[in-house]
Structure formats: structure tokens, C-alpha cells
């Protein structure tokens, strides 16, 4: 690769890349993100390469493995340009037909298109799919167009032009002012104004300063940072170098968890390519500015994503938080000024520089500008990564982008903000999703996890689940966090086992207050959120568990029982055969009975009993009726049919 020594040379290289690319030439983009790889994308890529060769199209078609466009649940995702035809859940055996029909004949293979579950309508182009149509994909939109291991793909889309702009046409003060003007707030959780943080570091009196990418992404179920790192690593590098220039730093770190091997691999490749082209190293693009980047693999502890813990881990010590009497922006890594920003925050920077702060601030709400990527999961039709403007309502995310709740069930709540976030109920579906509104509702933005729940979800159990996670992940260094979370977890576990006592809710509230006020870091300070938000919105569920020993969602196993209604049982033997615990007795002409001692409460019998019989009953908060006598269990099929 030739070293690029000026913005003119960069433009020349870009034009050369573009001149080698014919926009009318078919290009098959196959998502090679972790989600699609898990559902067989490697085999699909190999099948395309072989089939294209077999059909003699090698010089006429481009094939590439790309980053994740977000619709992982329907992967492997294939998009064929220039028409932008989008095929979902593609298998290697579909490939010959796609090549001969779509690539040769320009005909669409109908059965591989997205079908709207509500209307039955098919969508041919990626941008026609409701999941994508209702998003604004500034950050992840390019993923499906880029082979993450090809810097030329990034350059072809205008990559590194923001870097050239800042180095040659802007002073570092102007860069800082532009970021401040955009009102960009950190995407890693707290929503701290990025420009202010940069300014603090810039003004700190120390020759050596650092800029750091937080790619720890410890929230269970969240994978937006992974998708950006895997899919478009140069966008983060470009943002980081610009940040370094703005604050006067010449050294950057990417702290990425070890469990993201593809992200680590793609980032390392990207760094090597950027060095070869001269976007990293000494005298970048001939500007006189030097900047280097190192990758640090994190051991994968949730708490290591906290700023002071992350910096301690970068120093080679155990990743535990420390008191931050002085901001890490002033005294961070090796006690030097250090700007730590989240992956998505950095990825926004080149866009702000290229398109301007005013463009950025056009989308979003009053206090939260731009877009945010959410990991939309749980009881929702369209699962995946969604990028939406801040200020969009929860209802639009869940019903327009997410396609609503499967199986015609009712929406109950959405948990936002990762394990330390909160649950927001149906009555707040029309609230605007931004940093401030989510906090007001008792939750938080966090890094963008969004777990949708339907009526089958028990809110006490949800709080217990997250406290269980946090109790494992608390570093244990400070007592309020370590003991507070542990005690809250103990009470929640008792409540969900039917052992709750009067006063437990009040005790949970009290412990929440102390843990929130006295913990060392934000892990402990935000840990009560799942407890307090579920008590705030679903207090009646807590009371039902404690007073009536009833789980209204029939989810807490210890509080649920199953029995067979002898009046309705048809002795069909279905539940008897399927019960994994062999707890059902009976026969062809004998009414079935569940042995309560053996029953593991897995609910299989309830799920498979044919709805026209409806013989298996699920109860909570009441006693199981005594089984009928042996003689009465014998039934004559014909007579029962007449009933």
C-alpha cells in the first residue's frame, strides 16, 4: 500500500478506487457478522464464490462478506446491489437459484424475501423492510456495504476525509468547538457531553494525554459496539485520531473484550492498513501530527467497563474501580489526562466533522441529539440492532421497527439500560426515548439494551435476574455495593420462591437507597434501578407474591402448580408421553393425574394439552384439588365424546 502524504493524494487514491468500481456491476454482500456466521454465513459465502465461478461470472460479479446490518435474527442476510434486493435466512442450497435468477436474469426469488407478519406483504429492497424503513442508520447503515477487512471499501465511501479535513482545514480548537456545538453525548451509559470531556482533558496541564475506546460492552444481550467494531472498524479509528488531535493526544487505546474475537481481528487488520496508508503513525498525511493506537484485550468483567476500572486494567492491574475525586479526563491512565469514550460515540465523530454540528443536531430531542443504536430483544417480532433518532417514542421502536409482540400477546414492559436499567410499563409507551426522559422514568439509556416483555414475564423475577447478574459482577471492593446487592438479591429470591414477608418491599426500598447513595462506582449506584422501577410500576405483583403467594405471570416455578381437570381430560396420553419428569400417570382409558411430588413445573403438559380439551390447569396462589379416586379415573371414550 502506498503511503498517502497529503489530502490531494488521499483524494487521488479514492478516485482511483472508485474508477476501478463499476456501480452497475452486481455485488453480492453477505453479512459476515458474528450473528450471521453463527447461522451459517461462511458456508453461504463459499457457496456464492463457487457458484459464481461455476456459472462463469467471476469477472462480472463482486462477492463480499460484510459487517452486520442489524437484522441478525433473520440471518444470514444477503443484499444484492445495485438493485439492493435483500434475501433473508439464506442457505447454501438457495445460492444456485439466486445466481441464475437474480444475478443472471435480474429476477427476484420471492421465497427469500421478507414477509410482513401483519400484512403478509413482501419487501424486495432492504430499505422497504419495515424494520429498516423506520430507522435512521447513520452509524450502522454502511455496514452491509463494507468488507471490514478492506480499507478501500471505507475509502470508497469517503472514509478518512474527516481526518484530512481536521488536520488541514481546522485547528484543534475548531474541532473541539464543532463537537461541543453538536451536543454529542456519550453513548456508553451516562450521556456525559463529549465536547466538555474533551475540553477538560485538553486543558489539563500534562504533555502526555490519552484517548481510549471503551469496547468492553458488558451488558447481557447488547452487541451494538461489537457490530460497529466488527463491521466498520475504520470509522472508530478515524474518530479516535480526530479526538487525539482535538485534545493534543498522540496515543490511543482500544479496550475490547476478549470474547469478541472477530472484533479484535478486524480492528487489528484495520490498524495495520491505516498505518500502511499513513492514517496512523508519524506525520499523518504529511500534517506533522503523530498518533498511534494499541489494542488491549479485556478479560470480560462487567465492572471493567467502568472508566476508572478500565484504566486500571489498561495499566495491567485488576480492573476494579477507584474513587474519582478528580475526573479521569484530568487524571486517568497512569494519572494522565485521558478521554474515554464509547465505541458508538467515537463512530459519530467523523460524521459530525464531515456533515457539521448543525446537521448532527437536526435529529434527536432537545437534550439528546443524533441517533442511538439499541439492541432490541426479548418478546418482539423483529429482533436485532436498530438505529433510531433520539426522541423517538418507545411505541414506535417496539411496534413500528420491532413489529410488535409475537403470538398476539400484550406488551407489558420494556427494560432499558442494561442490568442497571429499569422497567418501563405500558402507560409510558408514548414517552420519548432519550437520556433525560429515561432517567425521569426511573430507568436509563445505558449503552442501549432494550428487552421487551409480555404478560408471561414476572417483574419480581426480572428484578431478581438482574440483581443476580450484578451480584456476580460487583467487584466486592466496597461494602454498600457488595452487601447491598447481595441482601436485595436474597429478599427477591425469597419473594419469588413464595417465602416473601410483610415489610420486604419497604426493606428493599431502604437497601436500594443506601446502595445507591453509598457505593463507590456507578455499578452499585445504579444497581437498585431494576428493583425500584419494578416496585414503582408493578407493586401489585410484589404484593401478590408476598401476601397471596401468587405469581400473576405464572412464571415463578415455586409458586405455580399444574393439575389435570378430570372433567376435561380425554385420556389422550399426549401429556403423559411428553412429560420429561414422568410425573403424569394414566392410560388410554384412564384419566391422567400429575404426581405433584415428581412434577418439575416445566409447563410442558400445559403447553401441549390440545386447546380443545384444555384439561391441564395452571394455578398460582391456590391449592391443587385432591386427585380423584382410582375407580373414577376409568373413562369410556365414547361416552366422553358425547358430552
Ligand X SMILES: Cc1cc2nc3c(=O)[nH]c(=O)nc-3n(C[C@H](O)[C@H](O)[C@H](O)COP(=O)(O)O)c2cc1C
CB-based contact 349:243 (threshold 8 Å):
yes
What grid cell was written down for 160?
478518512
- What is the rounded distance in angstroms from the CA atom of residue 327 to the CA atom of residue 457? 40
- What is the rounded distance in angstroms from the CA atom of residue 198 to the CA atom of residue 337? 10
187 binds ligand X, rule: CB under 6 A: yes
Which residue in the set 303, 352, 450, 576 belongs to the binding site for ligand X (CB under 6 A)? 303
Which residue in the set 28, 47, 61, 72 belongs to the binding site for ligand FES (CB under 6 A)? 72
Task: Work out the number of other CB atoms within 10 angstroms of the CB of residue 402.
Answer: 28
Cross-strand partners of 143: none
State the alpha helices, DSSP H only, in 356-478: 357-362, 394-395, 435-440, 459-473
Q: Which is nearer to ligand X, 445 or 460 (CB)?
A: 445
CB-based contact 194:369 (threshold 8 Å):
no
Which residue in the set 65, 69, 252, 524 belongs to the binding site for ligand FES (CB under 6 A)? 69
Going edge to edge, which strands form the sheet with 411-416?
Answer: 384-389, 371-378, 449-454, 411-416, 422-425
Which residue in the set 40, 190, 220, 404 belongs to the binding site for ligand X (CB under 6 A)? 190
Task: Give the burial class of 382: count Cβ atoms within 10 A of its Cβ; 0-12 exposed, 13-18 middle, 19 or more buried.
Answer: buried
| 196-255 binders of ligand FES (CB under 6 A) | none
Q: Which is nearer to ligand FES, 68 or 560 (CB)?
A: 68
Q: How far is the CB of 307 from ligand X (least distance, A)?
A: 4
Residue 313 binding: pick among ligand FES, ligand X, none (C-beta 5-8 Å cut-off by kind): none
Which residue in the set 29, 39, 66, 214 belongs to the binding site for ligand X (CB under 6 A)? 214
65 binds ligand FES, rule: CB under 6 A: no
Size of the site for ligand X (CB under 6 A): 23
75 binds ligand FES, rule: CB under 6 A: yes
Q: Which is nearer to ligand FES, 30 or 423 (CB)?
A: 30
* Site pattern 335..374 for ligand X (x: CB under 6 A): -----xxx--x-----------------------------
Q: Which is nearer to ligand FES, 132 or 210 (CB)?
A: 132
Residue 188 binding: pick among ligand FES, ligand X, none (C-beta 5-8 Å cut-off by kind): ligand X
195 binds ligand X, rule: CB under 6 A: no
Cross-strand partners of 125: 85
Q: Torsions phi, psi of 145, nearest 5?
A: -100, -5
35 binds ligand FES, rule: CB under 6 A: yes
Task: Work out the number of other CB atoms within 10 angstroms of the CB of residue 589.
Answer: 12
Task: Work out the number of other CB atoms within 10 angstroms of the CB of residue 316.
Answer: 7
Q: Which of 138, 121, 44, 55 is nearest to 88 (CA)?
A: 44
Grid-cell match 498511534, residue found:
292
146 binds ligand FES, rule: CB under 6 A: no
Which residue in the set 312, 447, 519, 534 belongs to the binding site for ligand X (CB under 6 A)? 447
Length of the chain: 643
Helix or strand (DSSP H, E) at 341: strand 338-342
Q: Which is nearer to ligand X, 192 or 613 (CB)?
A: 192
Classified as helix, coil or strand, 549 is coil
CB-based contact 202:247 (threshold 8 Å):
yes
Q: Which is nearer to ligand X, 147 or 216 (CB)?
A: 216
33 binds ligand FES, rule: CB under 6 A: yes
68 binds ligand FES, rule: CB under 6 A: yes
218 binds ligand X, rule: CB under 6 A: yes
Task: Work out the number of other CB atoms within 10 angstroms of the CB of residue 140.
Answer: 25
For binding to ligand X (CB under 6 A), which residues are involved?
186-190, 192, 214, 216-218, 302-303, 305-307, 340-342, 345, 447, 521-523
For binding to ligand FES (CB under 6 A), which residues are involved?
31, 33-36, 68-72, 75, 77
Amino acid at each position: 500500500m502506498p503511503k498517502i502524504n497529503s489530502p490531494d493524494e488521499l483524494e487521488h487514491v479514492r478516485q482511483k478506487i472508485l474508477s476501478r468500481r463499476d456501480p452497475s456491476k452486481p455485488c453480492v454482500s453477505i453479512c459476515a457478522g458474528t450473528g450471521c456466521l453463527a447461522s451459517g454465513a461462511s458456508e453461504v459465502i463459499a457457496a456464492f464464490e463457487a457458484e459464481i465461478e461455476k456459472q462463469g461470472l467471476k469477472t462480472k460479479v463482486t462477492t463480499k462478506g460484510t459487517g452486520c446490518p442489524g437484522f441478525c435474527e433473520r440471518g444470514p442476510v444477503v443484499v444484492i446491489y445495485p438493485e439492493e434486493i435483500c434475501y433473508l435466512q439464506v442457505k447454501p442450497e438457495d445460492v444456485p437459484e439466486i445466481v441464475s435468477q437474480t444475478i443472471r436474469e435480474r429476477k427476484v426469488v420471492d421465497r427469500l424475501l421478507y414477509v410482513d407478519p401483519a400484512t403478509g406483504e413482501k419487501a424486495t429492497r432492504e430499505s422497504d423492510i419495515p424494520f429498516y424503513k423506520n430507522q435512521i442508520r447513520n452509524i450502522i447503515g454502511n455496514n452491509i456495504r463494507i468488507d471490514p477487512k478492506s480499507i478501500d471499501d471505507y475509502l470508497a465511501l469517503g472514509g478518512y476525509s474527516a481526518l484530512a479535513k481536521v488536520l488541514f482545514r481546522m485547528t484543534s480548537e475548531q474541532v473541539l468547538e464543532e463537537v461541543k456545538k453538536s451536543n454529542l453525548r456519550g453513548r456508553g451509559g451516562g450521556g456525559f457531553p463529549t465536547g466538555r470531556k474533551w475540553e477538560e482533558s485538553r486543558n489539563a496541564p500534562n504533555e502526555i494525554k490519552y484517548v481510549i475506546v471503551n469496547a468492553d460492552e458488558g451488558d447481557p444481550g447488547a452487541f451494538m459496539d461489537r457490530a460497529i467494531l466488527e463491521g466498520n472498524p475504520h470509522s472508530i479509528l478515524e474518530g479516535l485520531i480526530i479526538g487525539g488531535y482535538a485534545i493534543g493526544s498522540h496515543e490511543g487505546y482500544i479496550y475490547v473484550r476478549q470474547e469478541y474475537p472477530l472484533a479484535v481481528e478486524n480492528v487489528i487488520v484495520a490498524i495495520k492498513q491505516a498505518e500502511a496508508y499513513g492514517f496512523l503513525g508519524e506525520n499523518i498525511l504529511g500534517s506533522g501530527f503523530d498518533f498511534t493506537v494499541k489494542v488491549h484485550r479485556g478479560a470480560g468483567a462487567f465492572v471493567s467497563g467502568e472508566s476508572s476500572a478500565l484504566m486500571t486494567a489498561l495499566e495491567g492491574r485488576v480492573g476494579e474501580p477507584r474513587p474519582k475525586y478528580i475526573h479521569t479526563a484530568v487524571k486517568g491512565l497512569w494519572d494522565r489526562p485521558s478521554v474515554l469514550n464509547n465505541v458508538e460515540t467515537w463512530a459519530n465523530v467523523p460524521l459530525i466533522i464531515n456533515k457539521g454540528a448543525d446537521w448532527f443536531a437536526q435529529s434527536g430531542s432537545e437534550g439528546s441529539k443524533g441517533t442511538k443504536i439499541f439492541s432490541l430483544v426479548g418478546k418482539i417480532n423483529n429482533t436485532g440492532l436498530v438505529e433510531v433518532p433520539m426522541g423517538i417514542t418507545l411505541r414506535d421502536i417496539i411496534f413500528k421497527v420491532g413489529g410488535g409482540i409475537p403470538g398476539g400477546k400484550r406488551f407489558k414492559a420494556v427494560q432499558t439500560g442494561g442490568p442497571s436499567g429499569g422497567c418501563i410499563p405500558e402507560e409510558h409507551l408514548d414517552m420519548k426515548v432519550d437520556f433525560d426522559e429515561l432517567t425521569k422514568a426511573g430507568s436509563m439509556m445505558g449503552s442501549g439494551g432494550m428487552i421487551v416483555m409480555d404478560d408471561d414475564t414476572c417483574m419480581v423475577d426480572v428484578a431478581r435476574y438482574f440483581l443476580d447478574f450484578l451480584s456476580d459482577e460487583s467487584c466486592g471492593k466496597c461494602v454498600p455495593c457488595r452487601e447491598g446487592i447481595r441482601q436485595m438479591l436474597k429478599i427477591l429470591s425469597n419473594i419469588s420462591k413464595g417465602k416473601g414477608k410483610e415489610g420486604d418491599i419497604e426493606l428493599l426500598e431502604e437497601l436500594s437507597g443506601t446502595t445507591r447513595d453509598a457505593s463507590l462506582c456507578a455499578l452499585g449506584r445504579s444497581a437498585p434501578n431494576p428493583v425500584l422501577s419494578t416496585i414503582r410500576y408493578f407493586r401489585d405483583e410484589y404484593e401478590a407474591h408476598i401476601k397471596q403467594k401468587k405469581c400473576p405471570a405464572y412464571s415463578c416455578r415455586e409458586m405455580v402448580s399444574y393439575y389435570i381437570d378430570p372433567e376435561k381430560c380425554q385420556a389422550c396420553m399426549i401429556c403423559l408421553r411428553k412429560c420429561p419428569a414422568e410425573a403424569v400417570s394414566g392410560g388410554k382409558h384412564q384419566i391422567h393425574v400429575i404426581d405433584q411430588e415428581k412434577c418439575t413445573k416445566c409447563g410442558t403438559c400445559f403447553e401441549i394439552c390440545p386447546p380443545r380439551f384444555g384439561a391441564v390447569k395452571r394455578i398460582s396462589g391456590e391449592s391443587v384439588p385432591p386427585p380423584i379416586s382410582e375407580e373414577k379415573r376409568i373413562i369410556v371414550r365414547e361416552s366422553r365424546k358425547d358430552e
